[in-house]
Each structure stands twice: as C-alpha cells, then as structure tokens.
Structure 1
Amino acid sequence: MAQANERGETAYGTLAELTTMRVGGPPRRVITATTEAELIEAVRETDAAGEPLLVVGGGSNLLVADAGFPGTVVLVRTTGIEVPHASACGGISATIAAGETWDDVVAHACEQGWSGIEALSGIPGATGATPVQNVGAYGQEVAQTIAQVRVWDRVEQRVRTLFPGDLAFTYRHSLLKESMLGPDAPAGSVTPRFVVLTVTFSLRPTELSQPVEYADLAAGLGVQVGQRVPLGAAREAVLEQRRRRGMVLDAQDHDTWSCGSFFTNPILPVAQMEQVVARAAERLGADGPVPPQFPAGDGLVKSSAAWLIDKAGFGKGFWTVEGRPAGLSTKHTLALTNRGSAQAQDVLELARTVRDGVAQAFGVRLVNEPVLVGLEL
C-alpha cells in the first residue's frame, strides 16, 4: 500500500492504480486528504502554486490519459456520517463526508431504516461525486434526496453551502459538473470550481423501500411496479441486477474493469425520435424491435443508449471476443471495459467506433458519461 509522507504526499506509479478502468499514466504528485481541513489546504496550496488540480474520490468515473496528469492529484479520503436531525415527522437528515465510499453509505442507510437511496446500491465511487453526476439508477437519483452540498469554492476562496435550486440538477448533470466541463474549459481539461466537502441527504425513516419503479427490479422481487418492499430486499435485488450486468466491482472479473455506463441515455426532441424510429424500421424491418422511449418533459423523450448500441451492431463482447485490450462487456453493451492490458487510447478507439457507428445507424450522437482527463473523444 502506498504511504504518505509528512506533507500528505503519497507515491503512486500511475493513475491506473486509482481508477476503476485501471488506465492512466503517472501523476506529478498525489496528496491524500483525510480531513476536511487537509482537503481545503491541499486545494489551496495547489491553486496558489498555479498547478493543475485533479480531485479523485473512488476513481470510478475517470478516464485518464496514458501520459498521466501534469499536476497535483488530491485524493479525497475524508470520513464521517452525522445525523443532525432525525424524527418520524421531519425525517432523517444525514450529512456524509465526501470521501465516504458510496455503497457503504447506502448499506448503512438500509441497516438504519433510512429510505430513499436503496436503489443506488452497488454504484462504485465516493459520496462527494454523487451530486456532481446526479448519480441515478433503477428509478432513483440523488437529486431526489439531496438537501444541500457544502463545497470549497476555488474562485471565491471560501466554504459555501449549495441547495438543490443552486445545483441545477438534470439527467446525469449538475452545476458542479458544468463548472468542470463548461464551454470555456479547454478540451481534455478538468478544472472544477467547486470541491465537494460534505453532502446532506433527506431520507425517510421507514423499513420499506420507496416504490419500486424499474420493471426488471420489480420482476426480480416478485412485486408489481409501484409496490414497496423491505429495504434489505430492495438492496439485494439491486445488487443482483448490477452483478448480472457486470456493474459491481470485482477484481477477478474484467467486465467490471470499467467506468460503468460509458454513454448516457440520449434525450431527444420528439421529431428526432421519430426519425430514429424510422431508421430502426429501415434497419430492422417494419415488424422489428422499436427503440425504447420514455417521456422527458417539454417535447423531449429519452431513449436507451444500450439499445442503440446493440442494434447498431455492437453486441455484448464486441472486440472482447477478438482478444483486443479493450472491448464491450460480455454482460452489458453500455460498459467499455479493460480486458487486462488496455491503455486509454484503446478505450478511446472503442468509444469512437461505437459512438460513430450509432450516429451512422440512427443519427444519434452518444455523449460520454465519464470525465476525460487529458483526452478528447
């Protein structure tokens, strides 16, 4: 295990050691922050020195260049779960340190009888990353339960508290992510304005889950969509669904050497979705399968990236079965995986092949969900 010196600097050979995709070259230096004060000081010191900054929690949503990172990597390893308020009427207010492992937080909530995040079981990474991506799965997303996020504002050089109205949550997006990848940011750069310190969730004191909204999950539980089940049962059913898709980390399973879902589900105007349906009919036959559609509000519909990828000709195991260093998971077409020796360029080549193939087949340009560091897709 890497050891930190008296300045908190830790020796890591490559960023592959710190990411679930297991690719990425060497960082110039790494500082491990175990307290909020250390985290703020590390960021302030890096900014004062004019160095590039990369904040890493669980490393589950990063694809880092083979050349590495020419600045300071701050590893967020802060811990702590506080409950400033708990009552049957007012609910549970739980403040979680940014460095807490997310799945441990979900497990703790289920054990304590706190409902609202059980469908987010098994998602890798740290708690501080959840509001950045507005993490979601199986009918839940963190925007539904986040009450506030405390951040270090690198522009104003102070701690701030941001509320849901400030955070501008949308599908897999937020103000926090926008500040990192805004229109003025150079391609391949990661320059977040806000560094998450703690996240406060408003949860419900109940032994039952929130209504099960995902059809496959309901089927696995043997209930109807909309029913509620014991929290423990909901968590185990979600974990089983994720394991079947290779979405629960397992060092022995290369299908899990990934960033999870590499592309977000496209949200399209109704008119464009009609064109996608027409292209699907031309490609698959008038009586063939139809692209999934879900209402997304304001004349928009959400479709399935996994469906589009598969029907564009990129099935489970694409390139994997050819023995290439990167390929689609054998369990899920949305996961781009490291088969053991992949470098970042191998993953990018696969991502471009899939993205461009879907665009050619259906006229939809898929957008990557992971943050690219020193890379451009």
Structure 2
Amino acid sequence: MFLVPRGGGAAGAAADPAAPLGGTAGTGGPARRLLTAGNDEDIVRAVREADTTGTPLLVLGGGSNLVVSDDGFDGTVVRIASTGVRFDGTRLEVAAGENWSALVDRVVAAGLAGIECLAGIPGSVGATPVQNVGAYGQEVADVLTEVVALDRADGGIVTLPAAECGFAYRHSRFKAEPDRWVVLRVRMELEDAGGLSAPLKYAETARLLGVSPGDRVPIGEARDGVLRLRAGKGMVLDPDDHDTWSAGSFFTNPILDDAALAAFRRRVAERLGPDAAPPLYPAGEGLTKTSAAWLIERAGFGRGHGEGPARISGKHTLALTNRGGARTADLLALAREVRAGVREAFGVTLVNEPVTVGVEL
C-alpha cells in the first residue's frame, strides 16, 4: 500500500506520518509529505502554501482512481477529509471529503432519486465531478448544479454552474485542467419520485430487476440491484478478493468519429467476419461509442489474463488487478500489452480512466 514518511503540516492541516495515501490497487511509492485537511479552510490554506512555495502538490480524495509511480510523489499530498451533508428539499450540498458510496446510501434512504445507480463506487464526493463519474445509465452531470472550487490560477474560491464545468463522457473542465482546480463542495438537484428510482436507462439493470428500460422501481431495489451487478464484476471493494484490488475500470469506452467508425467496422469484419456486430451507441452528433471490454476480449485478452502479480480481473476485463505484491510497473506493463493488442487488432487506441501520477501509459 501507498505510505508516507513523517513530515510537518501547514497550520490547520494535520500531518499524517504513516497513513495510506490511497490507491485501491495497492501499489505506488511514498510521498514526501502528507497533510490531512478536515475543512475547506484547511484545504485552501494547504494548497495556497504549496503554491506560494513552489512545492509540487497532489490533491487526494479516496485514491480509488489513482495510479502512482513506484517512486512515489516528491512533494506535498493534501488529503481531502472535509465533511458535511446538507439537504434542502431535493437540493443537496456535500463537502468534497465525504464518502461517495455512503452519500448514495443516505440519499436513497431519504427517498431521493438520481444517483441510486451510482451505488458502490469508491472514492470521495469531490472526485466525482472531475471524472464525471457514471455507471448503469446515470452520471454525476445529470444531477450536479454547481461546484464550489479553489481556482489556483488566482487563489480565489469560485462557484461554477454545471454549464461551465465542461462535462462530457468521463471528462470535465476539472480533469482538463488538473493543476488549476480543487473541488471543495458539490451541489446537486435530485428528484422526489415518491420513493421510486429515476427511469432505468441501462438494459442490464432493468433486466436484472425484471422491468423494461425507462421503467421506475423502488429506489432501494435499484440501488441493491446495481450493487449486485458491481459485486459480480469485482467492482465492490473487498480486502479478501483480489479481483477488487484495482483502480476500477482501467480504460474508458472509445468514442469514434465517422471516419474512425468506418475504419473500425472494416477491421472488425477482417478479424471476426462480415457478420460480427460490435456494440455501438450514439455519443453525440457524428460520434459513436463502443465497448472497451468488447475490444479487449475480442483482441484475445480474456478474464484472468496475465502471468505475473498483475492480471486482468477474473470477473471483468476492464479491471487490471493486483494479485498480491504487484507494483505500479506491473500494472502498467499489463495495460500497455492490452492497449497495444487492441490497437493492432482493431486500430483503436484505448485511453486510461485512472489518473496517473509520475508515470505515463
């Protein structure tokens, strides 16, 4: 696991000499200094101190979507540990350090719909707008109204409406400018549907629950169904199950323009035959999304692929897992093998979803 040595802390932020920095894959080296910031003021103070002194800075939430070099991080890590959840009818304001999965449970218990299909996703609330976290037909951009953030460009605190956050598939303004923004609070508008879920958009979820896409079900049933689906794919953290020792889905689903789609169809027909039908979904004007998992499997990388301590999950081909004793270098070697194989087979270059620190894929 990712540990830090003893170090001092900025005023108001607690220095933590031996706590895990995060990383659900359990790999990565040490940081020079770790500060745990328990409120907005401490976060802002710690970040401004690092910026003023020119110290390299890494802002850390839950660490579930992070791949860090085996050499570690030669700078200051600020771990966001702020808390606070405020309901105002269907409106919600949440501190960045709150646990996302626990928040979903709390919202479901309150009977509010909109994020129930995002149950079981590890990490902190503040990380969700960065990746525009999504699963099973829902994404954070569907409900998010505003983000309160520290703008490191001028040191000010700003409130960005959703329209200015640049949300796209697994992308946002915050991801595009990672050295500029530090999310402090997230505001959402949920739905009171009388204890029912939002309309189910994902066919697999609807099928599991015995309904049709577009139907609503009791909100707790939707949440529980998603948790069963995630557990079956090794996507619910379990310290005794190495299939969950991962950074989640390692690759995003490729988005192809019309020219790339035509070339992709030709490669599929050449490799798999003229009747092969890859999964294709509309992704905006002139854009089509296909399945990274389908590509990986059809390129010859099945579940459990690998011979060393890093292998593809035995439950889901999108997860690259630590079977015990793996280093970040092992995970990246496997990722490069898979990416190169998919590119050779289908002409599509997979893009990693986790944030990398000190390494490049």
Q: Give your verdict on TM over 0.5.
A: yes
State the identity %.
Answer: 53
Q: Please tell me the residue identity of whatever aligns with 1:279.
A: R
Matched ranges for 1:248-259 at <5 A = 248-259=236-247
Q: Tell me, what secondary structure is at the counterpart of 1:297?
A: coil
Tell me which residue corresponds to 1:230: 218
Matched ranges for 1:36-115 at <5 A = 36-83=40-87, 85-86=88-89, 92-115=90-113
Q: For the structure 1 residues 71 and 158, does the alpha-carbon distance in structure 2 shift closer, same or farther, using more than 3 Å as the test?
A: same
Tell me which residue corresponds to 2:160: 162
Which of 120, 123, 131 is the equivalent residue of 2:121? 123
Structure 1 spans left out of the alignment, 5+ residues: 87-91, 181-191
Q: Is the 8 A contact 2:255 2:290 kept in 1?
A: yes
Whole-angstrom CA distance in 2 between matches of 1:229 and 1:14? 39
Per the normalisation by structure 1, the TM-score is 0.91
Q: Does 1:301 align with 2:285?
A: no
Q: Please tell me the residue identity of whatever aligns with 1:293.
A: L
CA distances 1:322-373 after superposition (whole Å, capped 9, x unpaired):
3x11010000000011111111110110010000100000000000011110
Whole-angstrom CA distance in 2 between matches of 1:148 and 1:35? 19
Structure 2 spans left out of the alignment, 5+ residues: none
CA distances 1:185-229 after superposition (whole Å, capped 9, x unpaired):
xxxxxxx21101000010012211111111111111011111000
Shift of 1:4: 9.5
Whole-angstrom CA distance in 2 between matches of 1:14 and 1:363? 39
CA distances 1:249-298 after superposition (whole Å, capped 9, x unpaired):
111111111111100000001232222222222212233x4210001121
Note the aligned Cα RMSD (angstroms).
1.6
How many residue pairs match? The answer is: 354
Tell me which residue corresponds to 1:187: none
Q: Please tell me the residue identity of whatever aligns with 1:221.
A: L
Which of 237, 255, 262 is the equivalent residue of 1:267? 255
Shift of 1:14: 6.3
Q: Does 1:317 align with 2:317?
A: no
Q: Please tell me the residue identity of whatever aligns with 2:198.
A: Q
Per the normalisation by structure 2, the TM-score is 0.95
CA distances 1:127-174 after superposition (whole Å, capped 9, x unpaired):
000000000001110001001000011111111001111101011000
Whole-angstrom CA distance in 1 between matches of 2:76 and 2:147? 24
Whole-angstrom CA distance in 1 between matches of 2:289 and 2:334? 24
Q: Does 1:361 align with 2:348?
A: no
Q: Is the 8 A contact 2:7 2:32 kept in 1?
A: no
Tell me which residue corresponds to 1:146: 144
CA distances 1:50-85 after superposition (whole Å, capped 9, x unpaired):
1000011110110000000000000111111012x3
Shift of 1:49: 1.6
Of residues 351-360 and 276-285 in structure 1, the stretch that sits farther from structure 2 once superposed is: 276-285
Q: Please tell me the residue identity of whatever aligns with 1:331.
A: K
Which of 25, 40, 48 is the equivalent residue of 2:29? 25
Shift of 1:19: 1.1
Where has structure 1 moved over 6 Å in runs of 4 or more? Answer: 1-6
Matched ranges for 1:129-208 at <5 A = 129-180=127-178, 192-206=179-193, 207-208=195-196
